[in-house]
Amino acid sequence: MPHPLGDRPSKIIAVHLNFPSRAKERGRIPGHPSYFLKPPSSLAGTGDPLTRPAGCELMTFEGEIALVIGRRAHRVSPEEAWEHVGWVTAANDAGVHDMKWADRGSNLRSKGADGYTPIGPRLLDARQVDPRGLRIRTWVNGEVVQEDTSDTLLFPFATLVADLSRMVTLEAGDVILTGTPAGASVARPGDTVEVEVTDGAQTTGRLSNTVVEGGPLADWGAMPRADDAARADAWGSLYVTKPTLDESLAEALRGLSTATLSSQMRKRGLQHMSIDGVHPAGGDDVKMVGTAHTLRYLPLREDLFERYGGGMNAQKRAIEELRPGQVLVMDARRDTSAGTLGDILALRAQKRGAAGVVTDGGLRDSATVGGMDLPVFHAGAHPAVLGRRHVPWDTGLPIACGGALVQPGDILVGDADGVVVIPPDIAESLVADSVEQETQERFITEHVAAGESVDGLYPLGPRWRDAYETWRRENHH
């Protein structure tokens, strides 16, 4: 389907960072907007393919609100700038980060390829919408991955138009891509990306494009290149929170107690790695291993709850952002006087493939949640909804949970004794030392059960070392 503009614009201008949620992911808040150009030949419409060249792995999507200039703008003020906007629509600022290295700064090859700026399917009359009342959503294969509202922008639409028009004349039909919210990431061949912009009464409809595998690039120019830095840039917040726990390592951790892991971390100088005050909802026969995805609650403020607590709030986004093997870790400030999770969201987390949930706040529907096939650790049962004490605020950032600092991507292990946090970079050596500790403790237990004194035996001392080594060989440990 052709794009809805008819004639090609003279230029497409894209904003680097504009949504605070995206700026937080990138770790910087710009003082002024910055821009790059996309060729008009990159325009496409709904239904057109997003072609990932052979040899590339990092095809990215970025749902955006697009402004279409309706009247020539040259050195206009912010107060009059919106009068020069003709229409609003949905856009996908797509690209292949494998080519970003070749044109760093301009993004020409990474974001300027044919078809990499789909817009539409419908244009909303700018005179009939509130520029601060727009909502953007992006779906990948039917799952919401981005959602935000235009009242949060660092640089409102009128500011962008006025700023650009100081030095660049905006012609009728020109397109401004106004920035993407948090959640922009990588799509693979076969994935369908949809973007929609609404004002509550009107909608652009869903802009829908499917990623397809293309042929190889001719070899007389820069070729695709992907390294860890490019992958982190392309995946965004999902790069640090996507499940990266090797299954053999996960299996080894399942065989170890939190008591042993805590002991070994203490030997490494890590004294504050337990999430204190939480216990399993389903009884003591539970084991949880996974990587952390984080959610932070702030204290209730009634004037902010409607904005931050309603609709697709951070609590619900955190659930929908979960990937298989992740543990949702909630910072509720150790306030158990309202629930931070109930049976419906717990069920959704289970359906998302979550490895577990940990909250230092309250749990609603505790009996039902305790019967689910999902490890849930909480600080206490409470019947009240979160709006009694908490405002769901943001996801995917370092938090405090039960007195422990938890970063996205940390490893969480839980059992009847509680939950410990393991830095991923020490996990393998920690497992090796923990296995050795538990092997020694089995030897010690056998001898204590046989009537031996713990003196020199626990912990294992030199007098018992030879006997231990013999026992270890005989028992094939």
Annotated binding site for Mg(2+): 365
| DSSP class per residue in 184-242 | -EE--TT-EEEEEEE-SS-B---EEEEEEEEEEPPSSS------HHHHHHHHTHHHHHS
Helix (H) or strand (E) holding 329: strand 326-331
In degrees, rounded to 5, the angle at the alpha carbon of residue 137 between the alpha carbons of residues 302 and 161 is: 90
Q: How far apart are CA 323 and CA 239, in angstroms?
A: 12
Q: How far apart are CA 151 and CA 18, in angstroms?
A: 11
The pair of three-digit structure tokens given for residue 347, joined into one six-digit string = 């069920």
Q: How far apart are CA 83 and CA 106, in angstroms?
A: 29
Q: Where are the alpha helices (DSSP H) in 112-197?
A: 157-165
Assign 266 to helix, strand or coil.
Answer: helix
User: Residue 36 — left, alpha, or beta (φ > 0 → left; ψ -120 to 50 → alpha)?
Assistant: beta
**Cβ-based neighbours of 232, under 8 Å, separated by 6 or more:** 239, 240
Pairing of strands 135-140, 399-401: unpaired
| DSSP class per residue in 267-315 | HTT----EETT-EETT-S---EEEEEEEEEEEE--HHHHHHHHSSS-HH
Cβ(12)–Cβ(152) under 8 Å? Answer: no
- Residues of each annotated binding site for substrate: 342-345, 364
Per-residue b or e along 17-55, where b marks 16 or more CB atoms closer than 10 Å to that residue's CB? bbbbbbbbbeeeeeeebeebbbbbebbbbbebebbbbeb
The pair of three-digit structure tokens given for residue 445, joined into one six-digit string = 């237990």
Q: Where are the alpha helices (DSSP H) in 327-426?
A: 343-351, 366-370
- Residues of each annotated binding site: 342-345, 364-365
The pair of three-digit structure tokens given for residue 197, joined into one six-digit string = 């912009």
Q: Identity (one letter) of the amino acid at 221?
A: G
